[in-house]
Amino acid sequence: MRKKIVAGNWKMNTLLKEGMELARAVEKLENEKTSDALVIIAPPYTHLSKVKDMIENVRLSAQNCASEDSGAYTGEVSPAMLVSAGVEYVILGHSERRALFGEDNALLNKKVKLALSEGLKPIFCCGEVLEERESGKHFDIVKEQIEVGLEGLSAADMSQIVIAYEPVWAIGTGVVASPDQAQEMHHEIRGFLASMFDDKVAEDMSILYGGSCKPSNAAELFANPDVDGGLIGGAALKAEDFLGIVNAY
């Protein structure tokens, strides 16, 4: 049985005190949730070890990690450092990392492998930009992101991974994918995984939808058979909205 997951990507938002208050509020509401979805939060690096001390049921993710173990990489944070701070998941391949920081599929594959080798669970993001969808290339783009980004992994590795489909045109725009568009792509992704790995890997994979997901539209997205939860940006910055999405299950 695959897991239902709702993960909050805080991006570069909240100062430490605000972040701690938000984490405390999420933990409190998580304890009263009406759904069995796993709740994950991804605060900025600076908040991680403090937030770790404030949460019990809520799980902790980073938003990125380095592609190298240690050494002369000024400004980078390695997967082992994240694990040492109590982090369990790491978001990799977010479209903002791809577009603003030039992270390509090959680099992401290196990060995924290093993260897994340190025991971190990658939340691997994929998704097309608007022109790619309008020119009918969206399935090919997402397939390539998955084929290269998850290349060389075993079925055991795949059991530690979560996939997030985030159409770039829906991220932070208020334009949400329709439930049919989300279901269609999630179903395709499951098909790619079945051909790259096997049916069990495909069936067991939690595939989250991300992009302008809110309490008001989450239920119809999550009602689709291949949508196993959400990766939430803007609406994760208010505990009530975020848990509203969790409780939409």
The residues annotated as belonging to the active site are 94, 166
234, 228 contact by CB (below 8 A) = no
Identity of the residue, 95 or 118, whose beta carbon is nearer to ligand PGA in the bound complex: 95
Min. distance of Cβ 236 from ligand PGA in angstroms? 7
Identity of the residue, 186 or 197, whose beta carbon is nearer to ligand PGA in the bound complex: 186
Buried/exposed 101-111: b ≥16 CB within 10 Å, e otherwise: eebebebbbeb
Coil vs helix vs strand at 209: strand
Min. distance of Cβ 139 from ligand PGA in angstroms? 21
What's the token pair of residue 19? 């972040």
Q: Report the interhelical angle of 179-196 vs 138-149 (nearest 10°).
A: 40
Applying CB under 6 A, which residues contact ligand PGA?
9, 166, 171-172, 210-213, 231-235
Min. distance of Cβ 114 from ligand PGA in angstroms? 22
Q: What HEC string does 153-218 produce?
A: CCHHHHCCCEEEECCHHHCCCCCCCCHHHHHHHHHHHHHHHHHHCCHHHHHHCCEEEECCCCHHHH
Identity of the residue, 80 or 138, whose beta carbon is nearer to ligand PGA in the bound complex: 138
Element (DSSP H or E) covering residue 5: strand 5-9
Strand-pairing partners, residue 207, are: 163
Identity of the residue, 78 or 212, whose beta carbon is nearer to ligand PGA in the bound complex: 212
Min. distance of Cβ 28 from ligand PGA in angstroms? 22
